[in-house]
Each structure stands twice: as structure tokens, then as C-alpha cells.
């Protein structure tokens, strides 16, 4: 009887874990719902941006560093309290010199809100998403669970996963996300990648890595890095990188 009871317990455990594993994206959405930023928050954001653009008889390099103080409230969104930056650059071109934009910002309002309430945009990504992998992994030396999925926005749909994947393979772009989770199911980090190729006319690669922090049970971005590269008509090339660090301030 003891062995039979043990067998029933093991079978029940496998049924429960199998059910949970079948819907990991829904589990993540439920976890994120409790980690939305629902209180006033003030953060300091340190930003570093590098740009390099080249074309025949043209070269443009820029490096900028800055710091922004932003305030966030759930009902009003973000407010830029202060933003200052300095930059250096070199430019050589036989083209007409473009007018500089003195109002350019290193951090816009949409990006600022993503930094202080990342659970919100992650929920958008998960709406209609397709799970590609669910496996054990590690993140910065600690055990983690890795979910790889095709985000809902721009994701092709089908009557089943096979049809959706077949449609995705025919698209001129690829859109994928990876999320590392801790033992409680809370996000540790996220990687978003977008790539499109239209023959020699256009090629774009955009990769963003986010590291998260928890402040009072709320999910905030701790650090972010974005690398972008693009080529047009095989002669116009651009490369941008951006580093962001977020610190809560009182």
C-alpha cells in the first residue's frame, strides 16, 4: 500500500508540473501582474550613446553621455525632471552639413516608462506570443529557467504552432525574446532581438538586453544595453549602441 500511495503521489506531481510547464507564458503573465509599478517612483538614469555612420565620402562619429532624473506615477506616467548630457564627435562629409538639433534627447518618454514599469511592456509582448523553448539554464552563475518565445506584436498566427512557425519562416523579419526567471518565477533578465533583411536593399539588426531589479516588490530595469546596426543599398552603414543604468532615488 505504501508503494502504491507513493506511486499515486508521484503521478499527481507529474500531472501538476506538466500542466504548469504547458503554460509557462501564462504563468509569467500572472507573475508580472503582481510586479507592476503601482506607486510614485523617482529614478536617476545614466546614459551613454555611441553612433557611427558611413557612406561614400561621408563619416560621422558621435559619443554622448548624460543623466536624467525622472518621476513616475501610475496615473500620469513619466515626467522628465532634469536631463543633461555632453558629447563629442567627428564629421567628414562632402554632403551639405545637416542642422544640429539642440533639443535632441538621450532618453525619450516611452523608453523612460519602460525602465520604471517593464512589467507593462512585457505583458504586451506576451499577448498572443508563441513559446519556442522552455528549459533549465543559468544567469550570472545562478540557476534559472529560460523561456524563448516569439512576441505577440508582429507575430504570425495560425491554427496551430506548426502553421504559425511556417508563416514566421516566410516573413522578411525575425522577432524573438528570451526571459530568464528565478526560482520564484520572477524575471531576472530579458533579451529582445529584431532582424530584417530585404536582399541588398536593407538589413537591420536590433538587439536589446535588460537586467531587472526589484524595489519593494515592483519590477524595474537595473541596466539596459541596445546595439543597432543597419545597411542600406550595401553602401550606407550605421551602428549605434546605448547603455543605461537605473538607480532609484528618494
**Is 133 within a domain?**
yes
Residue 202: per-residue pLDDT: 76
Q: Which long-range contacts link 136-142 to residues 24+ away (Cβ below 8 Å)?
A: 137/180, 139/180, 139/188, 139/189, 140/188, 142/182
Nearest-CA neighbor of 77 among 46, 50, 32, 116? 116
Strand order across the beta sheet in which 142-150 lies: 77-93, 58-73, 41-55, 236-248, 218-232, 202-215, 187-197, 173-181, 142-150, 130-139
Whether residue 163 has pLDDT greater than 90: no
Whether residue 159 has pLDDT greater than 60: no
Instruction: Mean pLDDT check: name the lowest of 1-15, 131-145, 215-229.
Output: 1-15
State how far the Cα of 95 lies from the Cα of 57, in Å rounded to an integer.
Answer: 8
Whether residue 224 has pLDDT greater than 50: yes
Contact 194, 228 (CB under 8 A): no
pLDDT digits (tens, 9 = 90+) for 69-94: 999 999 989 998 888 888 765 554 44
State how far the Cα of 55 lies from the Cα of 207, in Å rounded to an integer.
Answer: 23
Sign of CA dihedral 151, 153, 156, 160: positive
Rounded mean pLDDT, 35-39: 95
**Is 205 within a domain?**
yes
**Is 18 within a domain?**
no
pLDDT digits (tens, 9 = 90+) for 89-105: 555 444 444 444 444 56
**Is 13 within a domain?**
no
Rounded mean pLDDT, 121-141: 93
**Is 93 within a domain?**
no
| pTM for this entry | 0.76
Residue 99: per-residue pLDDT: 42
Residue 99's SS3 state is: coil
State how far the Cα of 161 lies from the Cα of 165, in Å rounded to an integer.
Answer: 6
200 vs 222, higher pLDDT: 222
pLDDT band at 188 (very low <50, low <70, confident <90, very high): very high
Q: Chain-centre distance of CA 17, in angstroms?
A: 28
One-character DSSP codes across 126-176: HTT-EEEEEEEEEETTEEEEEEEEE-STT----SSHHHHHHHHHTSSEEEE
pLDDT band at 52 (very low <50, low <70, confident <90, very high): confident
**Residue ranges making up the domain that contains 172:** 24-87+106-248
97 vs 198, higher pLDDT: 198
Helix, strand, coil % in the chain, rounded to nearest 5: 25, 50, 25
Rounded mean pLDDT, 13-35: 70
**Is 4 within a domain?**
no
146 vs 228, higher pLDDT: 146
**Is 40 within a domain?**
yes
Whether residue 39 has pLDDT greater than 90: yes
**Is 101 within a domain?**
no
Number of domains in the chain: 1
Rounded mean pLDDT, 193-205: 79
Residue 203: per-residue pLDDT: 81
Residue 8: per-residue pLDDT: 39
Counting Cα atoms < 13 Å in the Cβ hemisphere of 108 gives 4
Amino acid at each position: 500500500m505504501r508503494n502504491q500511495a507513493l506511486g499515486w503521489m508521484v503521478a499527481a506531481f507529474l500531472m501538476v508540473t506538466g500542466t504548469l510547464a504547458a503554460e509557462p507564458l501564462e504563468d509569467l503573465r500572472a507573475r508580472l501582474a503582481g510586479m507592476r509599478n503601482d506607486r510614485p517612483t523617482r529614478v536617476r538614469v545614466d546614459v551613454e550613446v555611441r553612433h557611427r555612420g558611413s557612406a561614400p565620402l561621408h563619416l560621422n562619429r558621435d559619443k554622448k553621455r548624460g543623466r536624467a532624473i525622472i518621476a513616475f506615477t501610475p496615473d500620469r506616467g513619466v515626467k522628465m525632471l532634469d536631463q543633461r548630457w555632453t558629447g563629442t564627435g567627428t564629421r567628414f562629409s562632402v554632403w551639405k552639413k545637416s542642422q544640429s538639433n539642440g533639443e535632441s534627447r538621450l532618453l525619450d518618454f516611452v523608453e523612460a516608462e519602460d525602465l520604471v514599469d517593464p512589467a507593462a511592456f512585457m505583458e504586451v509582448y506576451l499577448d498572443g506570443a508563441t513559446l519556442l523553448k522552455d528549459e533549465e539554464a543559468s544567469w550570472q552563475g545562478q540557476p534559472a529557467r529560460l523561456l524563448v518565445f516569439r512576441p505577440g506584436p508582429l507575430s504570425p498566427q495560425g491554427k496551430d504552432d506548426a502553421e504559425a512557425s511556417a508563416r514566421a519562416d516566410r516573413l522578411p523579419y525575425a522577432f524573438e525574446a528570451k526571459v530568464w526567471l528565478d526560482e520564484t518565477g520572477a524575471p531576472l533578465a530579458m533579451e529582445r532581438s529584431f532582424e530584417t533583411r530585404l536582399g541588398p536593399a536593407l538589413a537591420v539588426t536590433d538587439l536589446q538586453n535588460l537586467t531587472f531589479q526589484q524595489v519593494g516588490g515592483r519590477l524595474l530595469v537595473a541596466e539596459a544595453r541596445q546595439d543597432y546596426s543597419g545597411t542600406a543599398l550595401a553602401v550606407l552603414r550605421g551602428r549605434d549602441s546605448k547603455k543605461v543604468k537605473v538607480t532609484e532615488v528618494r
